[in-house]
Amino acid sequence: MKIAGLDLGDRPLLLAPMEDVTDRSFRVLCREQGADMVYTEFIPSDGLIRDASKAIDKMRTLEQESPVGIQIYGHIPESMVEAARMVDRAAEIAGGHGADVIDINFGCPVTKIAGRGAGSGMMREPDKMVAITKAVVEAVGKPVTVKTRLGWDDNSKIIVELAERLQDVGIQALTIHGRTRCQLYRGAADWTLIGAVKNNPRMHIPIIGNGDICDAVQAREAFDRYGVDAIMIGRATFGHPWIFREIRHYLQTGELLPELSVRERVELARRHLTLSLEEKGEPRGVYEMRRHLSCYFKGLPDFKETRMKMVTTLDVEELYGILDYICERYA
């Protein structure tokens, strides 16, 4: 699959952009574990153009995570265009590698974003969505992609026609999450409409499917049944960054990899923590790892007390000691 001149190979696996999850440390780890492309947390266009330090920092990417997409969101056309121009120059502005792809978030369903017309709130204004996309495409040199949903609600699943319109204004790939905005993350993702977009004879850009892919068998079924060019994986990566390696092995061999041992999970958690500390220092590097750390060890018996210690301490040595203890007790 190619996004403009960016060749991601056959049946690529992509890490979804997720706020407070896909920071630099997690993106590097997922690339090490087989993700073919990763995306930043979504960045507010108004924050970028105000030179807000947090927004600028989110735009900094590392060479070892490339290829990487920098994702922006917003509902004001002028702000989106200016923010996209900044992303186009991300290496110069924020340092690091920069963007291989500029991705527009028209899919985030949370109320504080969608409620003001950004993210998937734009599904209620498809003409404006297309106009913003066209303006961004014309303003930048890097390839522009879009991530969106099926529609606003069950009565307005407009994705088949909308996909054509977005393609016609110049996007180079489209990611579709198989739910409406009103579903949020409830119910099952509807991949039939994702397949309908992919199999529309008018479509020629890559179609990336997203939603409810939790294991290698589901991933292969999505490729085989719906014909998508790539799969994007989100929540299933929490505490499970090696899911990309599992899926790739299954796609290539038809065999499932054995489950990771506790010792191997400890080593990955340790690697993740080290990356986080290198990027953010103390105590932030520890604090922002809490979401991930407890997920690495799901299913271990009598783990509640250890988990509580793990997600409350800010002492680095104590945390590494807890990881050693997990290895000794459960390995």
Using the predicted structure, report yes or no on whether residue 81 has a pLDDT greater than 90: yes
Inter-axis angle of helices 243-253 and 216-226, nearest 10: 60
β-strand partners of 106: 148
Q: Tokens standing for 40?
A: 């930043």
Query: What integer pLDDT is reported at residue 317 of this predicted model?
Result: 95
**Residue 294: which pLDDT band, with cuts at 50, 70 and 90?**
confident
How far is it, in rounded angstroms, from Cα 143 to Cα 188? 31
How far is it, in rounded angstroms, from Cα 6 to Cα 61? 17
Query: What integer pLDDT is reported at residue 187 of this predicted model?
Result: 86
Using the predicted structure, report yes or no on whether residue 324 has a pLDDT greater than 90: yes
- Omega before 283 within 30 of 0, i.e. cis: yes
Q: Which residues contact 112 (CB under 8 A, 6 or more apart)?
A: none
Query: What integer pLDDT is reported at residue 331 of this predicted model?
Result: 78
Q: Which of 135-144, 237-246, 292-301 has the lowest mean pLDDT?
A: 292-301
How far is it, in rounded angstroms, from Cα 323 to Cα 320? 5
Nearest to 72 by CA among 104, 98, 97, 100: 104
- Over residues 71-82, mean pLDDT: 97
Query: What integer pLDDT is reported at residue 166 of this predicted model?
Result: 98
Query: What integer pLDDT is reported at residue 20 of this predicted model?
Result: 87
Pick the CATH number of 2-253 from 3.40.50.720, 3.40.630.40, 3.20.20.70, 1.20.1250.20: 3.20.20.70
**Mean pLDDT across the chain, nearest whole number?**
95
- Over residues 250-264, mean pLDDT: 96
Using the predicted structure, report yes or no on whether residue 59 has a pLDDT greater than 90: yes
- Over residues 272-296, mean pLDDT: 92
Q: HSE-up of 175 (CA within 13 Å, CB side)? A: 32
Contact 20, 235 (CB under 8 A): no
How far is it, in rounded angstroms, from Cα 95 to Cα 260? 36
**Statement: 262-330 belongs to CATH 1.10.1200:** yes
Please pick, among 108, 182, 214, 295, the residue that the annotation labels catalytic.
108
30 is known as an active-site residue = no
Model confidence pLDDT, tens digit, residues 1-47: 999 999 999 999 999 999 989 999 999 999 999 999 999 999 999 99
Query: What integer pLDDT is reported at residue 274 of this predicted model?
Result: 95
**Domain boundaries, given as residue ranges, for the chain:** 2-253, 262-330
Query: What integer pLDDT is reported at residue 22 of this predicted model?
Result: 95
In the numeric block, the tokens 């499917």 are attached to 209
- Over residues 204-217, mean pLDDT: 97
How far is it, in rounded angstroms, from Cα 62 to Cα 85? 19
Nearest to 94 by CA among 63, 58, 137: 58
- Over residues 85-113, mean pLDDT: 95
| Burial (CB count <10 Å: 0-12, 13-18, 19+), residue 92 | exposed
**Residue 305: which pLDDT band, with cuts at 50, 70 and 90?**
very high
Query: What integer pLDDT is reported at residue 291 of this predicted model?
Result: 84
Q: Tokens standing for 323?
A: 């990881």
In the numeric block, the tokens 């990763």 are attached to 38
- Over residues 306-312, mean pLDDT: 93
- Over residues 157-179, mean pLDDT: 97
Query: What integer pLDDT is reported at residue 183 of this predicted model?
Result: 87
